[in-house]
Amino acid sequence: MLMDKKQLAALAEGRFELAFARCELRQRGTDDPHVLVGAGFLAQDKDGTLLLRMAAHEERTDVQVLKMEFSQSWAAGQIIPETDYYDLKAWTVSGVEWRAERVSPNMDYGMHGTAARIRLRRIETRGQWEHRAERATVTVSIPEELDLPWHERISTSALSGAVDKFRCDTGQFSWLAHKVNGQTTVGFSVEGENAEPAYTHFLRALKIVLGRLIEPQQFSITEGHWRATCLASRSESTTKRRLAPPVRGLRLDADDTHAFIRAFLEHSTREPLRTDAGGEGGRSELIYRHWHRILRAWENDLENSALVLSVAIEGLIKEAFASEHDVDAEFIDQLDRAKPILEKVELDKRARNCVLASIDNARAPKVRGVLRRLVEQGALHDGHVKAWSALRNTATHGETLADDDLALQAYINRFHICLDLFYRLVFVIIGYRGHHRDYSVVCSPAQQEWPIVPFPPVPPTPASAEAGPVPTGEWAAPPT
């Protein structure tokens, strides 16, 4: 099912409706599932959430009705069991099948049937397409105009039309965004017949480079002879959640924005599957999860954002950078000589085990040591390390912000310096080369804006050679 302009407009405005001649709800996680069958009607509530109302005409005895009403298996503080979720299949009058997995219906049981009310996060339909697509493609509709660095005109005339396209083609990947009646349509394609994993990485890169969340309400996927269309509920307002972006809008030709997306995509799709890296996406997944937490904390809690950002930096360093090169060999030798001595000392068993465990933990590379190495290699500077230490110590010891403008400004300065540190770590991991906003600079009233600088940093002049060596090639690369 392809959405026409009227349907897309209705979806964006919260007026979308779709009738189903038959719906089937099937319980998950059991060999004897509870199944409900009946007609249904899909619409949006005032918040843009997709809401399916279904009437299942089933005859039940009084005992069956009471059993269904009082058999909730939820326990306070426990994860809801799989048997409390259902899979949905629904068919329109024309026979088009829609599906939604793992839904949680609210049910009202009566003597002559059951009424179900289901809030859907997403619902999709899939069918064969008469033409075979040479490239897997995802087309997305976003119900707002994104603040992209538009750099192409929709008109072929140089003297007419608006600059309203954002386009790039790397060969393996291509994307095109353009404005349509107050909305943004994004097309993304990848070589092969599996688009969704690469599209997920593309969307994450787009969110990071814009410094905000993006929630498409409709997208279609074309792969080979198959096409799927998905509708999604409108999420809570995302327009207010913004984080200072790394490279957005630096130049009119948008090269740096495209370069960041390309680097993120290429890194994400070539790295091996790593279940120890925070999810199936490996380090790219880890980057996005940390970025998402930083964004939410910054917009919702000024003081908590310090802890979230400092911990995100620490987590990224431990996973992607710390290696045997960051181990203090002299200190490890001292620990090895101290351990047998402590094992022979007459101590209570509990105290001895605690001391020995501390020795084992001390062998691991320290985050501060890794940061120092990155400073020596030229990716960071001393100001990053000082700001991270101050921000982390304040947050972990439960200190609160003083009711003082100077203290608040100092905190905001440290936060942005650490945000710049986080972005630089991301640049190193994904191999980004281009320009970025340098948030480690404290702007003066005369300057008013953070400067634009290249990454990797330019080599120091002879007068500033004491800043340390500037590496070349694939410098500061995290270990594999």
Q: Where are the domains of the chain?
A: 5-69+83-123, 129-270, 287-327+364-467
Would you say residue 164 has pLDDT above 80?
yes
Which residue carries 């409709």 as its tokens?
Answer: 218
Percent of the chain with pLDDT over 90: 39
**In the structure, what pLDDT confidence band is assigned to residue 364 with cuts at 50, 70 and 90?**
low
Mean local confidence (pLDDT), 214-237: 85
Q: What is the pLDDT of residue 325?
A: 55
Q: What is the pLDDT of residue 114?
A: 81
Q: What is the pLDDT of residue 477?
A: 45
Assign domain 5-69+83-123 to a CATH class.
mainly beta
pLDDT tens, residue by residue, 45-65? 988 899 999 998 654 444 454
Is the pLDDT higher at 235 or at 12?
12
Q: What is the pTM of this model?
A: 0.81
**In the structure, what pLDDT confidence band is assigned to residue 324 with cuts at 50, 70 and 90?**
low
Q: What is the pLDDT of residue 103?
A: 95
Residues in the chain: 480
- By CB atoms closer than 10 A (0-12, 13-18, 19+), residue 88 is buried
Would you say residue 460 has pLDDT above 60?
no
- Beta-carbon contacts of 459 under 8 Å, excluding residues fewer than 6 positions away, are 470
Task: Read off the tokens for 367.
Answer: 């985050």
Q: What is the pLDDT of residue 368?
A: 86
Q: What is the pLDDT of residue 39?
A: 94
| Amino acid at residue number 354 | C
Mean local confidence (pLDDT), 437-443: 91
> What's the chain's average pLDDT?
81
Q: Which residues are paired to 23 by β-bridges?
A: 38, 90
pLDDT tens, residue by residue, 125-141? 998 877 788 899 999 98
In this structure, the number of other CB atoms found within 10 A of the CB of residue 53 comes to: 14
Q: What is the pLDDT of residue 240?
A: 62
Q: What is the pLDDT of residue 425?
A: 95
Mean local confidence (pLDDT), 106-132: 84
Mean local confidence (pLDDT), 4-17: 84
Task: Read off the tokens for 24.
Answer: 């089937």
